[in-house]
Structure 1
Amino acid sequence: MSPEHLSPLDLAFWRIESAAHPMHLGALAVLSADGPDAAARAAALLAERCAGLPGLRRRIHDVLLPVGAAAWSPDPDFDPARHVFLTAAAAAASAAARTGASAAADTAAAGAAAADAAAAAAGAAAAAGVDAAARAGAVADDAGVGAGAGAARTGAGAAARAGVGAAARAGAVADGGAGAAGAVDPRAAAGPLMARPLDRTRPPWEAHVLAGPGPDSFSVLFKFHHALADGLGALALAAGLFDRQPPFAPGPAVRGPARPVPAPRGPGAALRRLPGVFASRVHDLGQALEIGAAVARAGLPLGVPDALVAAEPGPGAGAGSRSVAGLALDLDEVNLIRKAAGGTVNDVLIALVAGALRRWLAERGDPLPRGAGPRALIPVSRRRPGAAPGAGNRLSGYLLRLPLAEDDPLRRLYAVRAGMDRNKEAGPARGAGAVALLADHVHPLGHRLGGPLVAHAARLLYDILVTSVPLPGLTFTLGGSTVREVYPLAPLARGQSLAIAVSTYKGTVHYGLVADAAAVPDLAALAGALRAELDAFVREVS
């Protein structure tokens, strides 16, 4: 059987990766715990189910021909324990919950025994006289209270010791802050894990079961290499690990109703009618030249806020540092803005990002950019509407200037809407944002040799990534525990300090923020600025 080679775009994502800039996508799911040992059971289920999914058992390896290419092959040594991890904090939280439940049961049993003792003493007292009854009852009461209190103290002590151990051991896994009842903030725990590259000798994915934000929850961080799947493909792979669902179909894209791609115009239309390979070659060359010209017209990274720029790592630098933040917003409030001001849900979500960046920069005391604003890359799926997402990447993109210089939220939204309308009219195969399509015109050896150069060029192409992942209208569960929040996490390009991803799940918009921790030490403040921006926008249109 001939090997399944990586597509040109998949190969590009594989080759541009470095230790300081790993190229994996992430998704942080927060679940309501269905029982005291829910986190441990979830980890066991993930390990069991991943073994049955062929897409998660394949690794990437170099091939001799074509020179520079890579291919997929089954991992003969596949071991779920190398991909599914139950962090110490989550394990200790489960143990503490089990200990607490056991202590409660012991307390109830002790109380019942005390009641039986009281009843027996009362019976004896009836024969011995009133004074004896009183004395027996007092003894029985003391015994019952003492037994119940002792059991409670035992359970509380064990739970406290487990919680302290969890907090101490969690420090080895993540720099998470302690929450209620010793829980670790999963978003803080996800940062160091997102900074750590996947093992390139194994199937390129991981799942980390983390402690939740409270004692009644836990979290799962999924990591999928971009060569394995784009956002929709990664979602489909993750869905295979959850409890059985109807066949996966992506939900409606938050960028709004699909528009037909306009018919090609100009000389290229006539060339496409030429026969055979010659027509294909001419078309490919014309598309590459057109995208290249659009990139040149989009301009250089001038006037980009310093907060959006990260220092370049030195030669041979190891893993970088990452911080993660998340914010959940009410979709009804977003729709209120959309209905009042026009545009699509995606237009509103991007305008909120622009307003939040402006607000965040002002709070930091940074100068606000003048002119057109930083260039945001907005990835666009090239999959057909309704098609089931498969492995690999089917992506293009739009390039959009974020109007940070505009102080009026409605005018910011109008500027975003106008820019997105221009992009949609041109279509995802044209324009400066379609640089991903150029990967199709590069020989595999070019990807292998030129990967580092392409990684260095990211800042020449765009300044910040803002991507959306449409989720299906389903409620996901894992071992009976319900997924209540989903924060998508995007990879961080070289030289850039911030990437923003957004998804909509169960009537809630979830923003996932990933930052270079050294360049953006105040990522939580940006999440707060998003919340403040939505509140201000709602007041503006109400």
Structure 2
Amino acid sequence: MTADLLAPLDLAFWNIESAEHPMHLGALGVFTADSPSAAQHAAELLATRAAAVPGLRMRIRDVLLPVGGAARVPDPGFDPLDHVRLTGPVLDFHAAAGALMERPLDRARPPWEAHVLPAADGASFAVLFKFHHALADGLRALTLAAAVMDPVDLPPARPRPAEEAPRGLRLPLPGVRPITLGDLNLRRLPGLLRETVADVTQALDIGASVARASLDVRSSPAFTSRATGTRRTAGVALDIDDIHRVRKAAGGTVNDVLIAVVAGALRRWLDQRGNGSKGVEPRALIPVSRRRPRTAHPQGNRLSGYLIRLPVADPDPLARLRTVRTAMDRNKDAGPNRGAGAVALLADHVPALGHKLGGPVVGQAARLWFDILVTSVPLPSLGLKLGGCALAEVYPLAPLARGQSLAVAVSTYRGQVHYGLVADAAAVPDLDRLAQALRDELAELAELAEAAARKRAAVE
């Protein structure tokens, strides 16, 4: 198996991390238990199957060239039992997950873990998957996790067309042959020059957009915190039919509705805890995957993003949805390669040594760029099982940026929307209150949207 040089964005995630501020993402899956030994059987299956998944055997190590670079390489001492752990019975899956999310992954081993959590009543168990963001983005993590689930019948995959590997990936190590003058095609120089000018223009455009987005920031102290290294998680499952009813009645996309629900829930939460929502318009980073299904390189983060201001201060739920819809439409028209949300693309223009030396500084800068992360993770619609036990709920858990108190991730699975919340436990002791605010916000939004639709129908 050849080594894979980390792509620039992967390298950035690897170097941003510190022992006090881990950079792993997670997913908490809840399964129905068909026997008292279901959790133990699940842990045994995970360990056995992990041994056969090449991507789970890869650790990250420094390389000589490029200077400051790192690569994924097979771990000759890989032992799945170092990564799959069975805990004792737990009363609260999210409380247990929060404590486990605090712990950094072992950087000397393949950076992932799977913790099997049996419920105290024996009726269910949960599995918390943790993947370092340098090993896998959300889509790649989903692929790796699905590889250790029970086999499912899928339609045959279409052949993947040949594609040039992304810059900086899959170079054989060691011994990279240097480029000589004989390798240069002088006829390509005008094209190369145009590409360089385009890259510089893009960087300037993104930089200017970030500067504009930083003006007149109207956030709340509730979204910032001193990094304590502590973590708390919470989750809520909502009916996808309610989301569709709002979309059909008020317009926009499913994603617009999901973001508007977050804005309204934050308003409720801030008012309930006494921070107040008046004048608050936090900048939300909405990651956008640039990975193309079936054609994208299997490894490496391929991310951009949109940056929008959440209309938390607006008291009208329908108006909040309209504001979100307008902002997202504007971002989509511009595309994921432009605007303040596309800062991740600048990682491609930083040399490996720059990522290594500048990682701590970049990690500190996140809260200057955005106030809260709101990310969506697509899940397959087919039912997943582990050891014959059905996956009933799955809560995605996003990494928490340094200096920020809260991150929101959302996924849809088999008729439900699952919001996964990650917070600094010291800064947000009332995370369950925000989870309930999400439920209350969708209920009110659905009621108002349907009432408005009935009113329009009566007039027509």
TM-score computed with the length of structure 1 as normaliser:
0.75
C-alpha distance after superposition, 1:137-166 (max 9, x if no partner): xxxxxxxxxxxxxxxxxxxxxxxxxxxxxx
Structure of higher CA gyration radius: 1
The match for 2:448 is: 540
The match for 2:436 is: 528
Structure 2: which amino acid aligns with 1:470? P
C-alpha distance after superposition, 1:359-401 (max 9, x if no partner): 0111112122416x01000000102255477222111000010
C-alpha distance after superposition, 1:2-27 (max 9, x if no partner): 74210001111101011222111100
Q: Which of the numbers 302, 307, 313 marks the counterpart of 1:394?
A: 302
Structure 1: which amino acid aligns with 2:101? M
Does residue 1:339 correspond to 2:248, yes or no?
A: yes
Does residue 1:423 correspond to 2:338, yes or no?
A: no
Does residue 1:222 correspond to 2:129, yes or no?
A: yes
The match for 1:76 is: 76
CA 1:387/1:336 → structure 2, altered by over 3 Å: closer, same or farther? farther
Q: How far apart in 2 are the matches of 1:463 and 1:352?
A: 17
The answer (yes or no) to whether the contact 1:488–1:502 under 8 Å persists in 2 is: yes
The answer (yes or no) to whether the contact 1:301–1:460 under 8 Å persists in 2 is: no
The match for 1:197 is: 104
Q: How far apart in 2 are the matches of 1:69 and 1:293?
A: 29
Cα offset, 1:538, TM superposition:
1.7
Q: How far apart in 2 are the matches of 1:391 and 1:474?
A: 24
Q: Which of the numbers 346, 349, 367 marks the counterpart of 1:438?
A: 346
Q: How far apart in 2 are the matches of 1:433 and 1:354?
A: 18
The structure with the greater share of residues assigned to helix is: 1
Cα offset, 1:307, TM superposition:
1.0
- Alignment partner of 2:420: what SS? strand
Does residue 1:303 correspond to 2:210, yes or no?
A: no
Q: Between the two proteins, what is the percent identity of the paired residues?
A: 65
The answer (yes or no) to whether the contact 1:187–1:325 under 8 Å persists in 2 is: yes
C-alpha distance after superposition, 1:97-133 (max 9, x if no partner): xxxxxxxxxxxxxxxxxxxxxxxxxxxxxxxxxxxxx
C-alpha distance after superposition, 1:256-282 (max 9, x if no partner): xxxxxxxxxxxxxxxxx9833222221
Structure 2: which amino acid aligns with 1:355? G
CA 1:274/1:351 → structure 2, altered by over 3 Å: closer, same or farther? farther
The match for 1:209 is: 116
Structure 1: which amino acid aligns with 2:355? H
The answer (yes or no) to whether the contact 2:57–2:78 under 8 Å persists in 1 is: yes
Q: Which of the numbers 276, 280, 284 marks the counterpart of 2:195?
A: 280
- Alignment partner of 2:131: what SS? strand
The match for 1:22 is: 22
The match for 1:60 is: 60
The answer (yes or no) to whether the contact 2:21–2:227 under 8 Å persists in 1 is: no
Q: How far apart in 2 are the matches of 1:284 and 1:295?
A: 17
The answer (yes or no) to whether the contact 1:30–1:220 under 8 Å persists in 2 is: yes
The match for 2:286 is: 378
CA 1:494/1:485 → structure 2, altered by over 3 Å: closer, same or farther? same
CA 1:389/1:278 → structure 2, altered by over 3 Å: closer, same or farther? closer
CA 1:29/1:71 → structure 2, altered by over 3 Å: closer, same or farther? same
Q: Which of the numbers 232, 235, 239 marks the counterpart of 2:139?
A: 232
Residue correspondence of structure 1 range 10-49 to structure 2 within 5 A: 10-49=10-49
Does residue 1:469 correspond to 2:384, yes or no?
A: no
Q: How far apart in 2 are the matches of 1:8 and 1:493?
A: 18
RMSD of aligned Cα (Å)? 1.8
- Alignment partner of 1:203: what SS? coil
Cα offset, 1:214, TM superposition:
4.3
Unaligned runs of 5+ in 2: 158-187, 451-460
Q: How far apart in 2 are the matches of 1:383 and 1:246?
A: 24
514-523 or 15-24, which deviates more: 15-24
Q: How far apart in 1 are the matches of 2:132 and 2:216?
A: 28
Cα offset, 1:88, TM superposition:
2.0
The match for 1:323 is: 232
Residue correspondence of structure 1 range 221-260 to structure 2 within 5 A: 221-247=128-154
Structure 1: which amino acid aligns with 2:291? R
Cα offset, 1:65, TM superposition:
1.1
The answer (yes or no) to whether the contact 1:301–1:462 under 8 Å persists in 2 is: no
Cα offset, 1:213, TM superposition:
7.1
Q: How far apart in 1 are the matches of 2:77 and 2:355?
A: 28
- Alignment partner of 1:275: what SS? helix
CA 1:66/1:472 → structure 2, altered by over 3 Å: closer, same or farther? same
Unaligned runs of 5+ in 1: 90-182, 251-272, 314-319
The answer (yes or no) to whether the contact 2:227–2:424 under 8 Å persists in 1 is: no
The match for 2:367 is: 459
CA 1:387/1:469 → structure 2, altered by over 3 Å: closer, same or farther? farther
CA 1:303/1:248 → structure 2, altered by over 3 Å: closer, same or farther? farther
Q: How far apart in 2 are the matches of 1:536 and 1:244?
A: 40
The answer (yes or no) to whether the contact 2:227–2:403 under 8 Å persists in 1 is: yes
Structure 2: which amino acid aligns with 1:488? P
The match for 1:85 is: 85
Q: How far apart in 1 are the matches of 2:128 and 2:350?
A: 34
